[in-house]
Structure 1
């Protein structure tokens, strides 16, 4: 493992902070759905385009990054991509219309996707395989913190000011994190000696990944895992408002309940995956997610307390699958190819999320009379089928020392 002037845990916390702002930028779009659809007078499929544009651009950038990231110091690559992400998010905050917001989401998605891949790559570089699921638990806790702190606070700012405010919050927090990363994060160049720094080596490495049965199994697994989760994610907030009868001002409670539950359980899931096996824990999380997925996608008018309980179950099991899942994926390649693989993996992940968003946007329609979202239960059954298929694919991925 590469040596660094900072101990492992502070490095992981700093990486979690990077991931926190990236996830917050992505997540805050979901609860803004009802407000954006009303203010811009757009339909569900147009809103899904805002979500899908972010992930599709991240997919393209991840594919291009696979040729480049292993040729640079990890710190340099992370700082560059993270700066681009913050500038793109600033453009989102200043967007005056649906069309300009769509373009800004494409920019922030391109840089944000590669930044997220770099975080996971660095975790794979600095944390031994036997502790990697626990490390992923720390990184994934940023998702919970975004739900507990970032999204509710961002929604509160949007309520008292405008929808632009949450994106400005991401830029402010991210600027601080970027500065700390610049000053405190160590140079990580150990992979350069193994991988080489020439374009020919990068292309050779990518071809090696694309012809290796194990890495193809890992990419297929990631695609199905993401698709099974993400086909319903863009419509959680709109469905809570339109179908479950939750007021827009109370959406923060949905994310608060889920975030707190996930924050408490994420480190436990990571430790259990290291102790009892990543595949076994992944299968348990998938099975646990089936009930809340069914309940959310079939939910009618409900009391706030019931909505919060379902949200907690969904975040714990639906989001918790990614802790052992990411550990399985990062273990599929040797260190010399990990940067290229994680960028390629990021591309596949974001492509799957984009396809799921667009497919969901064309299945779900808004009832002109009642305002309810129709056919949402159909997405639930698709999510359940894809999630079960991801367990089979996960069993085919082998760990590489």
Structure 2
């Protein structure tokens, strides 16, 4: 199951004329997506006090959202390969924004869990199709950089969630934080209605624009060893950073004695700066290394994760606060190097007519075995021992993920024809 080579003379070498608007809107929506996800993390201590829940129950707030999101994502991808993706984006962002506002109305733990589940449905309609839209707006030689720009929204949105959520929770209440988090998505949902709907495979030549029967595509995907190796590495990384992102603000409050608003602001600022720099560097280096050898960006990603693992361990093992934050920053920089290269590898090693479903299946895998279980598992370990111990052992999946991505880079060269831009 090979992607079309960028060397094909029929493949476009320049972006679509209206690509910039779509990329900007999709990136802003992705920012709001992650803002919403991390408001709950920084508001968690107050939510625990109000509802009287322990760490294991608190982890369910992260797990419930992820479980619904991952289960709905393959369906979102299936629909995205067959229907206008622009409409799926609009419907998805409006639904999750309304559910975010509804989270602030919750008067019980069960009601809050239900709202988080509905948010997962809305995000599934968007998350699987956005990368496939971008891949049809930009040529293959630019995709890693463009996808890196799209994924810049992860650290910036997470930082905004930590900062905004921490400030509003401290100044008003966690209910107000959720009300504020739902407004931007409604505005962006209306703007997304005017995005272009590019032809599938428009940047990969006429052969790539052919329709692909679902069962034929599914059988090819099952044999695509590069896709599965990359997905395995992505899953291990997601397990670790999902749990870390959910629990780190609480760790800084509980075990380092920081104020709740300070922990959210500082951790959010580190995430924004390190994540932004890492994502931009990864997109630029990924495109450059991919031009030298197929899968070059994945080699960089694998090495980056292997270097990030000891930094994550040091972050909770160092006693002084300053070195702790420095270790957190370096770990996040090395992890966010991977955002562009990993997702570019996924869309490049599958046919354009099957990209949305492949992304949806990837989302299912990385969350089913990743951050769907890590917040609750870390909470359970914390209840049995300490939050320090739970976060320290969380560095191991990152190390294993690095090995998996190095394997994926080797397999990728066999799965995808060597691409050379003339």
TM-score range, shorter chain: 0.7 to 0.9
Q: What is the alpha-carbon distance in structure 1 between the residues aligned to residue 66 and residue 90 of structure 2?
A: 20
- Write out per-residue CA displacement over residues 32-69 of structure 1, whole angstroms, 9 at most, x where no aligned residue: 22222222221111111110111111111013234322
Is the 8 Å Cα contact of residues 20 and 145 (structure 1) preserved in structure 2?
A: yes
Q: How far off its partner does 1:245 sit?
A: 2.1
1:158 pairs, out of 134, 146, 169, with 169
Is the 8 Å Cα contact of residues 55 and 382 (structure 2) preserved in structure 1?
A: yes
Q: Does 1:202 align with 2:214?
A: yes
Match of 1:50 in 2: 61
Q: How far off its partner does 1:273 sit?
A: 1.2
Match of 1:328 in 2: 345
Change (3 A) 1:41 1:327: same
- Gaps of at least 5 residues in structure 1 are none
1:347-366 mapped onto 2 (5 Å cutoff): 347-351=364-368, 352-365=370-383
Q: What is the alpha-carbon distance in structure 2 between the residues aligned to residue 360 and residue 146 of structure 1?
A: 23
Match of 1:213 in 2: 225
Change (3 A) 1:248 1:171: same
Match of 1:73 in 2: 84
Q: How far off its partner does 1:143 sit?
A: 1.8
Match of 1:260 in 2: 273
Q: How far off its partner does 1:321 sit?
A: 2.5
Figure out how many residues of one structure are paired with residues of the other and give that number: 390
Q: What is the alpha-carbon distance in structure 2 between the residues aligned to residue 240 and residue 390 of structure 1?
A: 31
Q: What is the alpha-carbon distance in structure 1 between the residues aligned to residue 32 and residue 268 of structure 2?
A: 16
Q: What is the alpha-carbon distance in structure 2 between the residues aligned to residue 230 and residue 393 of structure 1?
A: 23
Is the 8 Å Cα contact of residues 42 and 165 (structure 2) preserved in structure 1?
A: no
Match of 1:24 in 2: 35
Q: Which TM-score applies when normalising by structure 1?
A: 0.88
Q: What is the alpha-carbon distance in structure 2 between the residues aligned to residue 312 and residue 378 of structure 1?
A: 16
Q: Which TM-score applies when normalising by structure 2?
A: 0.84
Is the 8 Å Cα contact of residues 231 and 379 (structure 1) preserved in structure 2?
A: no
Match of 2:111 in 1: 100
Match of 2:134 in 1: 123
Q: CA RMSD in A?
A: 2.6
Is the 8 Å Cα contact of residues 360 and 379 (structure 1) preserved in structure 2?
A: no
Q: Does 1:240 align with 2:255?
A: no
Q: How far off its partner does 1:381 sit?
A: 4.2
Q: What is the alpha-carbon distance in structure 2 between the residues aligned to residue 311 and residue 338 of structure 1?
A: 34
Change (3 A) 1:5 1:282: closer
Q: Does 1:273 align with 2:273?
A: no
Q: How far off its partner does 1:357 sit?
A: 2.7
Change (3 A) 1:15 1:174: same
Is the 8 Å Cα contact of residues 255 and 311 (structure 1) preserved in structure 2?
A: no
1:387 pairs, out of 372, 387, 401, with 401
Match of 1:397 in 2: 412
Q: How far off its partner does 1:117 sit?
A: 1.9
Change (3 A) 1:65 1:181: closer
Q: How far off its partner does 1:246 sit?
A: 1.7
Moved more, 390-399 or 238-247: 390-399
- Write out per-residue CA displacement over residues 234-293 of structure 1, whole angstroms, 9 at most, x where no aligned residue: 221111111222221211112112212322342222101111230232133213312331
Q: How far off its partner does 1:307 sit?
A: 4.3
Q: What is the alpha-carbon distance in structure 1 between the residues aligned to residue 16 and residue 214 of structure 2?
A: 29
Q: What is the alpha-carbon distance in structure 2 between the residues aligned to residue 234 and residue 69 of structure 1?
A: 30
Q: How far off its partner does 1:109 sit?
A: 1.2
Q: What is the alpha-carbon distance in structure 1 between the residues aligned to residue 328 and residue 225 of structure 2?
A: 37
Is the 8 Å Cα contact of residues 85 and 111 (structure 1) preserved in structure 2?
A: yes
Change (3 A) 1:225 1:307: closer
Is the 8 Å Cα contact of residues 301 and 402 (structure 2) preserved in structure 1?
A: no
Q: Does 1:339 align with 2:350?
A: no
Moved more, 382-391 or 52-61: 382-391
Q: What is the alpha-carbon distance in structure 2 between the residues aligned to residue 195 and residue 327 of structure 1?
A: 21
Q: What is the alpha-carbon distance in structure 2 between the residues aligned to residue 214 and residue 391 of structure 1?
A: 9
1:284 pairs, out of 303, 323, 326, with 303
Change (3 A) 1:102 1:15: same
